């Protein structure tokens, strides 16, 4: 039974791996510490929104056998708008993923250090974190092999490790089942929770995952009969990803004190209350979250660059490899010497804030084009859900941009 469920799981798991990075882990930790179970409903809402959008991206990839950026380039006929969208996509995803990559690697390092201790090399006044190099080398090997099936199996394994680690940690804290259900199904807005709610939705409904998913499904599937498998893969994987995020909130809610700023602090805080193994399970989950995002972020950027710029070739082509190697190298460099490219991160946040509603709108438009999808265009229900998510994404995008400029 379980073997059959996971038999066709693949691209969706990579999407789950991409949205559960160290940023999501930290945000869920702070949501649990500060608001208990009260914001679980926001996580449930974001899971539903993610399933709706990712199903559209996967359907587009299988039917058209093209990536989302390729379809956008072909379908937008107005030159100015085409260039605007192309530059926005490249800025938000290629530059954005390069700036976030150091955070992905540093998150994995936090998990490793909690288990193994620190490994620092001092050269004069320069301190180099060797754990960043370890994660960088693992990511490099998995991407350089350039075999989709091998990469998929490696990432599915890491996601399962991450899922089991976080879920066991949550179970160990013995949460109150009634409070858990209330938190999931009764929307509550505790004081000062609005930015955290926006963050929880924004960290799950991620623009680059739409591009990643449309590109990955065509590596795996090519027939209309495969749509059912892709849909099952999407739903199971994203629900699993959502459960992991909820498990982190639940684990963090069990901590009686508030001086926690990241998941490594949470791991240390759980140890005296629930035993050493709770600490190690959480740290292992954080390592898996970091390394999976450190692999999927450069991979998504390479697919996007290929589609936007019209490059030919596969995962082993020089241009494709060049993109992810540059992003991975910058991530390892910034993470190992402890530099945060703040200005680039701010630029990427603004670009991503603009990109989410633009891409959600363009995706909805494309999903209703018969010349692209034939009989597999959106149903009325899918369009209604899509427009509700588009409205949420406009709100999220605006809030995200205002936050960068400290207006909220």
Q: How many separate domains does the chain show?
A: 1
Q: How confident is the model at residue 3 (pLDDT cuts 50, 70, 90)?
A: low
pLDDT at 7: 63
Rg (CA), the chain: 20
Q: Which CATH number does the domain housing residue 373 bear?
A: 1.20.1740.10
Neighbours of 48 (CB within 10 A): 16
Contact predicate 242/40, CB 8 Å: no
Burial class of residue 235, CB neighbours in 10 A (0-12, 13-18, 19+): middle
How far apart are the C-alpha atoms of 308 and 90, rounded to whole Å? 8
Q: How confident is the model at residue 117 (pLDDT cuts 50, 70, 90)?
A: confident
What does DSSP say about strands 120-123 and 126-129: parallel, antiparallel, or unpaired?
A: antiparallel
Burial class of residue 193, CB neighbours in 10 A (0-12, 13-18, 19+): middle
68-75 vs 79-89: helix crossing angle, rounded to 10? 160
φ, ψ at 234 (rounded to 5°): -60, -50
Q: Is the pLDDT assigned to residue 217 strictly greater than 90? A: yes
pTM of the model: 0.90
Q: Is the pLDDT assigned to residue 348 strictly greater than 90? A: no
Domain that holds residue 365: 2-404
Contact predicate 159/17, CB 8 Å: yes
Q: Which H helix or E strand runs over 373? A: helix 370-373
Both tokens of 222, joined, read 């090519």
- 381-402 per-position pLDDT tens digit: 999 999 999 998 888 888 778 8
For 69-108, letters b (16+ CB in 10 Å) and e give: bbbbbeebeeeeeeeebbebbbbbbbbbbbbbbbbbbbbb
pLDDT at 61: 96
Q: Is the pLDDT assigned to residue 85 strictly greater than 70? A: yes
């Amino acid at each position: 039974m379980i073997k059959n469920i996971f038999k066709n799981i693949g691209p969706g798991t990579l999407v789950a791996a991409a949205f559960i990075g160290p940023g999501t882990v930290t945000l869920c930790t702070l949501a649990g510490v500060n608001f208990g179970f009260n914001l679980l409903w926001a996580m449930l809402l974001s899971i539903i929104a993610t399933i709706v959008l990712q199903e559209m991206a996967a359907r587009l990839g299988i039917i058209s056998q093209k990536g989302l950026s390729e379809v956008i380039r072909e379908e937008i006929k107005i030159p100015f708008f085409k260039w605007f969208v192309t530059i926005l996509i490249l800025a938000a995803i290629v530059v954005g993923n390069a700036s976030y990559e150091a955070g992905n690697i540093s998150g994995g390092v936090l998990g490793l250090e909690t288990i193994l201790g620190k490994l620092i090399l001092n050269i004069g006044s320069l301190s180099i974190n060797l754990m960043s190099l370890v994660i960088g080398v693992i990511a490099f090997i998995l991407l350089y092999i350039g075999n989709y099936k091998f990469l998929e199996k490696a990432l599915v394994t890491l996601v399962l490790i991450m899922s089991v680690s976080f879920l066991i940690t949550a179970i160990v804290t013995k949460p109150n089942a009634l409070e858990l259900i209330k938190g999931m199904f009764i929307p509550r807005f505790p004081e000062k929770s609005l930015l955290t709610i926006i963050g929880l939705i924004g960290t799950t409904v991620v623009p680059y995952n739409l591009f990643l998913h449309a590109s990955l499904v065509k590596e795996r599937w090519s027939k209309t009969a495969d749509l059912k498998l892709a849909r099952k893969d999407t739903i199971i994987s994203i629900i699993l990803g959502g459960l992991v995020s909820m498990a982190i909130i639940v684990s963090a809610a069990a901590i009686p004190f508030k001086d926690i700023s990241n998941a490594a602090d949470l791991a240390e805080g759980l140890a005296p209350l629930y035993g050493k193994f709770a600490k190690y399970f959480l740290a292992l989950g954080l390592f898996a979250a970091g390394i999976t995002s450190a692999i999927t972020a450069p991979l998504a950027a390479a697919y996007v660059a290929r589609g936007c710029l019209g490059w030919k070739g596969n995962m082993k082509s020089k241009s494709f490899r060049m993109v992810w190697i540059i992003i991975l190298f910058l991530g390892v460099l910034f993470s190992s010497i402890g530099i945060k490219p703040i200005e680039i991160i701010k630029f990427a946040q603004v670009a991503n804030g603009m990109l989410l509603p633009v891409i959600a709108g363009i995706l909805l438009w494309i999903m209703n084009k018969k010349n692209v999808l034939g009989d597999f265009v959106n149903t009325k229900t899918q369009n209604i859900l899509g427009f509700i998510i588009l409205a949420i994404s406009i709100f999220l995008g605006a809030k995200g941009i205002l936050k960068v400029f400290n207006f909220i």
